[in-house]
Amino acid sequence: MTALRLRTELVDALIAAFVAALLALPLLGFKLTDSATGLSLDYRWPLVGYAAGAVFTGRLAIGQLRHFFGARFDRTRGQSDIYSADPGRARIMFGWALIAIALVLPWLPFADKGLVDKATLVLIYVMLGWGLNIVVGLAGLLDLGYVAFYAIGAYAYALLAKTFGISFWLCLPLAGLLAASFGILLGFPVLRLRGDYLAIVTLGFGEIIRVILQNWGEVTGGPNGINSVPRPTFFGLPFSAISPTGPTFHEFFGLPFSPVHRIYFLYYLILALALFTNIFIIRIRRLPAGRAWEALREDETACKSLGINPTLTKLAAFATGACFAGFAGSFFATRQGFISPESFSFIESAIILAVVVLGGMGSQIGIVFAALLLVGLPEWFRELEQYRMLAFGAAMVLIMLWRPRGLLASRSPTVRLGKLAEAAS
Amino acid sequence: MDYFLQQLINGATLGAIYGLIALGYTMVYGIIGMINFAHGDIYMVGAFISLIGLMVMGALGLTFIPLALFLVVLLAMIFTALYGWTVERIAYRPLRGSSRLAPLISAIGTSIFLQNYVQIAQGARAKPLPPMVRGSVDLIHTGNFQVTISYLQIMIIALTVVLMAGFTFMIRKTSLGRAQRATEQDMTMASLLGINVDRTISITFIIGASLAAVAGLMVTLYYGVIDFYIGFIAGIKAFTAAVLGGIGSLPGAMLGGFLIGLIEAFWSGYFSVAYKDVGVFAILVLVLIFRPTGLLGKPEIEKV
């Protein structure tokens, strides 16, 4: 019995190794080298052997592990609970614990400038994920061009603050409003399209915005972007060493000057913005608008017959999601101090969507974990550069295979009939 | 008029390439209802394998160009098809039957993986290739402007038409095509009637990838320069073509490909090169507003 199993596994691994060798042959076996005289070929046969060997051992190891752990390696694990996933007390407590950790993070003994900076980046994606969750998770509309609204927010802040000298706190709602109106502008003609047609139109919209940013040099600075975007101030107190206009942050509070102040301030700023997004979503899910979104996701025809206007409801979801992307964009611009079209390519949309889907659509805490995993973790491996993105792509596939419903799946309706009926009786 | 004709020829050439890639999108969409985001990168892999194949032919001392091209087409199709098959086997098959978004994310991950894999394996710099098929025919010669069609353009359009005709024949008449259409209509019913659904889907990916490999070879010869990033924009354009023609419809993908090529050529010729992608997407949105399921797509019947 064991001998038979071993034999099947060996044959299986040999076939896999053979396929791997064939796959590796053209792209790893040969190397195109370009020099002044033109292209030439180099040969790297050992690499083909390594690839085949790696796949062979990997395949055998997975087979052994699967046998060893038995059903625990079963892919279907953890899928059956999705409709019973009640965002119960444990999860709510866990959410509060996460907020507490986030609040004290900069004061923990091991926290330094780099860590807080990375945490800020993760929080941007958490906020973007929560914003996109309104569109994808709640309303069930597939949006592949979410980064366009993020870009609009960033450019709106940069241009308004630089040209008219408007403060960050005034720009923030303006940028959100602008992004939301672009959302309506895009959504109005296309929202009656079915799922995948909508996806390609949003993808196209994202590309259009990027092409315009890239080519409209007089306003957006073209591919060079916008430099020296005004940095944030603490209620008018700048975070610089000296200021010609008045006291700076450290002078006002009598602290020694340190560039860390600004980083910490930015961290708390995005934490506040992200928590605001979260509270907004938790509240709106219980309001008629949010309930209409979830109902629309489940059954559009039923919604129509109950008198919900699908176009207006979708438009509201689209605009609300866009608005939060606008907020996050403003924050991004003020944090970086420099923006260019490069920061708003399709890959960003893909990462944000991956954060939402891997988090488990509709789950707020799941999105936090997915952002930590997809954005936070790769930050530690920055020096690996290309291999980092290679692993990133592979990880996206593997996590999806491991948990097809996302890390924490909850698609249960926010309002249950059962509870209402109980309360009534 | 002459200028118009020249843009028409250029646009048709471009459209032929988009059409071949779009077929891969539309077939996969038709059969398992997913947007195969990695298809653009499969095409990029095909272009690289073609370029390496051409270099190998050069190294082997094969100087008779038609034979070399024929061998390269075959090799590129085989190896790229293997990539397509592997991607389906690893990244999509385990996710069949789960939510609509899971395979999409898996496909995006595959796309990122393939791009970086080729970038690491072959370097990030664009790879130039000296023109291999030279010569052209002057169609109209008026004053200082002449309308020409190069042998390469003739070859691209002719090969595309032949492939599309063969492909249509295969889908319409052969048992494989029947199995494919049956799987497309109802996967469960097809498997009950003895069709090996898994194999049919695998073959769909293999055909899609080999058509993309031909497109990759054409682009390598036509533009003479490729890099690891070409898959993304070509993939978006080809997918747009598939949607424009009505996704899931094979003639639609071919029509959409040619239309996108023509729109791009005329937009660059008459308006601005920088905004040609804006033109393509603007026309897509316009078409979808008036025909929400594309030009040749079947209207979807909603049942309660």
Instruction: Read off the pLDDT band of A418 (50, 70, 90).
Output: low
Interface of A with B in 207-226 (CB under 8 A): 207-208, 211-212, 214-215
In the predicted model, is pLDDT for residue A189 greater than 90? no
Distance from CA of B143 to the nearest CA of A (A): 35
How far is the CA of A118 from the CAs of A340, A377, A382, in angstroms?
Answer: 20, 10, 11
Range of the domain at B95: 2-290
Nearest CB partner across the interface for B281, out of A142, A204, A394: A204
A-contacting residues in B 245-284 (Cβ below 8 Å): 247, 274-275, 277-278, 280-282, 284
Which pLDDT value is given to residue B200? Answer: 92
Residue A414: CB atoms within 10 Å: 17
Predicted confidence (pLDDT) at residue A48 exceeds the cutoff of 80? yes
What whole-number percentage of chain A has pLDDT above 70?
Answer: 88
Task: Give a yes or no: residue B168 inside a domain.
Answer: yes
Letter string b/e over residues A347-374, b meaning 16 or more CB atoms within 10 A of that residue's CB = bbbbbbbbbbbbbbbbbbbbbbbbbebb
Q: Do the chains contact at A393 and B288, CB–CB below 8 Å?
A: no
The predicted structure's pLDDT at residue B216:
94
The per-residue DSSP string of A363-424 comes to -HHHHHHHHIIIIIHHHTTGGGTHHHHHHHHHHHHHHHHH-TT-SS-----SS-HHHHHHHH
Whether A120 contacts A335, CB under 8 Å:
yes
CB contact under 8 A, B127 and A393: no
Q: Helix axis angle, A260-284 relative to A288-298, nearest 10°?
A: 70
Q: Which of B109, B129, B130 sits opposite A400 (nearest CB)?
A: B109
Set out the domains of chain A in order of their start, with CATH numbers.
2-73 (no CATH), 90-417 (1.10.3470)
Partners of residue B130 in chain A, C-beta under 8 Å: 38
The dihedrals phi and psi of B186, each to the nearest 5 degrees, come to -160, 105
ipTM of the complex: 0.86
In a domain, B181, yes or no: yes
Could you say which of A31, A32, A353 has the minimum Cβ distance to residue B105?
A: A353
B302 in a domain, yes or no?
no
Residues of A in contact with B132 (CB under 8 A): none
For residue B11, give every residue at least 6 positions away whose Cβ sits within 8 Å of its Cβ, in sequence order, or none: B258, B261, B262, B263, B264, B265, B266
CB of A401 less than 8 A from some CB of B: yes
A144 touches A206 (CB < 8 A) = yes
- Which residue does chain B place closest to A411, by CA atoms? B99
Cα–Cα distance between A398 and A377 in angstroms, integer?
Answer: 15
Picking from B105, B232, B282, the nearest residue to A396 by CB comes out as: B105
Residue B42 is assigned to a structural domain of this protein:
yes
Residue B228 forms part of a structural domain: yes
CA-CA distance, A396 to A368, in Å (whole number)?
Answer: 16
Residue A196, amino acid: D
**Do residues B269 and B7 touch, judged by C-beta distance below 8 A?**
yes
B19 has pLDDT over 90? yes
Task: State pLDDT tens for residues A364-414.
Answer: 888 898 898 888 888 777 777 778 888 888 888 988 888 887 777 655 555
For an interface test with A, which of B48, B52, B62 has the most A Cβ atoms less than 10 Å from its Cβ? B52
Which chain A residues touch B53 with a CB distance below 8 Å? 26
With bands split at pLDDT 50, 70 and 90, how would you rate the model's confidence at A71? Answer: low
Which helix (H) or strand (E) segment holds residue A234: the answer is: strand A233-234
More confident position, A133 or A381: A133
Check: CB of residue B191 under 8 Å from CB of residue B147: no
B154 and chain A in contact, CB less than 8 A: no
Which pLDDT score is estimated for A85? Answer: 45
Task: Give the total residue count for chain A.
Answer: 425
* Amino acid (1-letter code) at residue A97: A
Res B293 pLDDT > 50: yes
Question: Once rounded to an integer, what is the mean pLDDT over residues B91-112?
Answer: 87
- Report the candidate in A407, A376, A271, A30 with the shortest Cα–Cα distance to residue B51: A30
- A339: DSSP letter: B
Which residue from A minimizes the CA distance to B126?
Answer: A34
For residue A43, give the H/E element and its range.
Answer: strand A38-43
Per-chain mean pLDDT for chain B: 87
Residue B284 falls inside a structural domain:
yes
Q: Is B295 part of the contact surface with chain A (CB cutoff 8 Å)?
A: no
Question: With an 8 Å Cβ cutoff, are B82 and A39 in contact?
Answer: no
> Quick one: pLDDT band at residue A179, thresholds 50, 70, 90?
very high
DSSP state of A146: T
Per-residue confidence band for B97, with pLDDT thresholds at 50, 70 and 90: confident
Whole-number Cα distances in Å, B296 to A399, B254, B292: 37, 11, 10
Chain A to chain B, count of Cβ pairs less than 8 Å apart? 188
Residues B194-204 have a mean pLDDT of 92
Confidence at residue B76, expressed as pLDDT on a 0 to 100 scale: 94
What's the confidence (pLDDT) of residue A337? 85
Interface of A with B in 82-121 (CB under 8 A): none
Q: Tell me the nearest-neighbour CA distance from A254 into chain B, angstroms.
A: 49
Q: Which of A44, A188, A193, A200 to mutate to test the interface with B (most CBs of B within 10 A)?
A: A200
Q: How far is B144 from chain A (nearest CA, A)?
A: 32
Across the strands, what pairs with B150? B136
Put simply, the answer to whether A397 touches B90 (Cβ < 8 Å) is: yes
Residue A91: burial class (beta carbons within 10 Å; 0-12, 13-18, 19+): middle
**How close A57 gets to chain B, by Cα (Å)?**
17
Residue A63: its pLDDT value, please?
80
Distance CA B19, CA A61 (A): 42
Residues 264-323 of A with CB under 8 A from B: 301-302
Confirm or reject contact between B74 and chain A (CB < 8 A): no
Q: Is the pLDDT of residue B21 over 70?
A: yes
Asked if B42 and B113 count as a contact pair (C-beta separation under 8 A), the reply is no
- Please indicate whether, in this complex, the C-beta atoms of A208 and B281 are within 8 angstroms of each other: yes
Rg (CA), chain B: 20
Q: What does the pLDDT look like over A254-299, one tens digit per residue?
A: 777 777 788 888 899 999 999 999 999 989 988 888 889 988 888 8
Chain A contact for B117 (CB, 8 A cutoff): yes
**Domain count of chain B?**
1
Is B293 in contact with A194 (Cβ distance < 8 A)?
A: yes
Q: How confident is the model at residue A324, as a pLDDT?
A: 95
Residue A106 C-alpha, separation from nearest chain B C-alpha, in angstroms = 33
Is B301 among the domain residues? no
Within-domain flag for B303: no
Smallest Cβ–Cβ distance between B120 and the set A38, A192, A386 belongs to A386
Residues 6+ away with beta carbon under 8 Å from A367: A126, A129, A130, A133, A355, A356, A359
Beta carbons of B102 and B95 less than 8 angstroms apart: yes
Is A197's CB within 8 Å of B288's CB?
A: yes
Interface test with A, best of B37, B77, B112, B129 (most A CBs within 10 A): B112
> Percent of chain A scored above 90 by pLDDT?
17
> Is there a contact between B114 and A392 if contact means CB atoms under 8 Å apart?
no
Please give the Cα distance from B212 to B206 (Å, whole number): 10
Q: Give A84's pLDDT tier (boundaries 50, 70, 90).
A: very low
Q: Six-digit token pair at A249?
A: 């942050």
Q: What is the pLDDT of residue A86?
A: 52
On the question of pLDDT at B289 being above 90, the answer is no
Do B51 and A390 lie within an 8 Å CB cutoff? Answer: no
Q: Which residues contact A285 (CB under 8 A, 6 or more apart)?
A: A138, A291, A294, A414
Could you say which DSSP state residue B96 is in?
T
- pLDDT of B135 strictly over 80: no
pLDDT of A76 strictly over 50: no
d(CA A145, CA A350): 9
Phi, psi (5° rounding) for residue A307?
90, 15
Which residues lie closer than 8 Å to A101 by C-beta, 6 or more apart?
A: none
| Radius of gyration in angstroms for the set of CA atoms belonging to chain A, rounded to a whole number | 25
| Residue with the two structure tokens 């309308």 | B147
Q: Find, in chain B, the residue whose alpha carbon is nearest to that of A203.
A: B236
Indicate the average pLDDT of chain A: 82
Q: Which two tokens stand for residue B3?
A: 């200028």
What pLDDT score does B247 carry? 82
Question: What is the CATH classification number for the domain harbouring B117?
Answer: 1.10.3470
Please enumerate, as own/partner, the contacts of A88-97 that have beta carbons within 8 Å and a separation of 24 or more. A91/A365, A94/A365, A95/A364, A95/A365
- CA angle A51/A52/A56 to nearest 5° reads 120
